[in-house]
Structure formats: C-alpha cells, structure tokens
Amino acid sequence: MKSGSDFKPTQEWASGGIATLYLVGTLHVGIFAFATGQVGTESAPLLGFWILGCAIALLMLAMVDLRRGETLFGTLGMVFGGLLGLGGALSFIRSIWMPGIFPIDGWWFLSAGIILFLLLPAVSKVSWIMFGGITEIGIALTILGLGMIGIFGTPEVPLKIAGWLALLFAIFCWYEATAQLVNTTYGKKILPL
C-alpha cells in the first residue's frame, strides 16, 4: 500500500492541436505542389508517401484529442488524417501502378470538403478565425474534387485555384500553430490569434 508521500498525480497528455496544425499545413503544401504543377505527375507516389506520413501522425494526435474529450479537434484530426490524409495518400501512391488523375480521386477530396462544411457550425462556436480557415480549405477541396471529377471540363484551372487556396490554408495553419505555441510557452499573448 502506498503512503501519501508516494502518491503522484496522474499525468494528463497535452492536446495535439498545435502539432496537428503544423502537420495539416505540411499536408496541404503537398496538395499545393501537386495541384499547381510545381511537381510533375511522376512525383505523385512520393507525394503519396509524404501525405501518408502526415496522415499517420494526424490520426495518432486525433486519438489523443478524442481521448481527452476534445471532440471537435479530434474529429478534425480524423477528417484531415483519415479521409484527406489516407485517402489522398493512397490515391497518389496508386499512381505507381495506374498513373494519371481518375475521377475517383476527386471524390475523396470532394467528400473531405463537404465534411468540413458540415463541421462549420461547431467550429464557429470555438473560433471565428478557425471558421474562416476551415471554410477556405473546404472551398479549396471542393474545387479540387470537382476539378478532378471533371465537372469543369479540363482540370487545370480548378486545380491551380485549389492549389493556391491549399497553400494559403497551410500558411494559416502554420501561423495559428506558431501563435498558440509561442503564447502558451510565454504564458501571455505575444502573437494574435
């Protein structure tokens, strides 16, 4: 039996939110590079593995957040890590055997965009800045998905628009993560959120 002096409080895990934002930003830089033609289609499998690495970490962080009772952030982590991360990664990796853009690839991105729109009422309760970021990437993923499906005819212009919006979202994520990290570390508001 432990005495009172042997008692140690249970350590609680920190939220995965900051790391999640850095990873989500990194994932979207990959989407930017692909959609805007910064990397050729021959690099699609490598991009798939890059996104897969982000996806695995995002899923682990989402499980931490869900375990902590952070339903919204855990759900966002699952959407970005599971649907967008794993789905997108496997679509790019598939190009090892079947190169090119297939309409099924677009359905992954369209689904992620729609789900992000469905999360907006909950996100608006937490942060209007986050609401703006999720709205923006929801639009980007919807355009990307519809472009890959072929709704707009040739996919070049919608992919470029979606790619640049993905880069904007990546910058938003990195700033938001850095602001949270700096403000938490210093215990005061240094960077605005």
For position 173, which CATH number holds?
Answer: 1.25.40.600
> Alpha carbon of 127 to those of 124, 141, 163: distances in Å?
5, 21, 25
Q: Give the pLDDT of the chain (193 residues) as one tens digit per residue.
A: 455 556 666 678 888 999 999 999 999 999 999 899 998 888 889 999 999 999 999 999 999 999 999 999 999 999 999 988 998 899 889 988 988 778 888 898 899 999 999 999 999 998 888 999 999 999 999 999 999 999 988 888 999 999 999 999 999 999 999 999 999 999 999 988 8
The pair of structure tokens assigned to 73 is: 């952030």
- Domain assignment present for residue 102? The answer is yes
Please, where are the H alpha helices in the chain?
17-35, 44-67, 71-78, 87-94, 103-126, 128-149, 156-186
Q: How many residues make up the chain in this entry?
A: 193
- Domain assignment present for residue 106? The answer is yes
The pair of structure tokens assigned to 95 is: 């190009």
- Owning domain of residue 30: 16-186
| CA–CA gap between residue 176 and residue 130 (Å, rounded) | 9
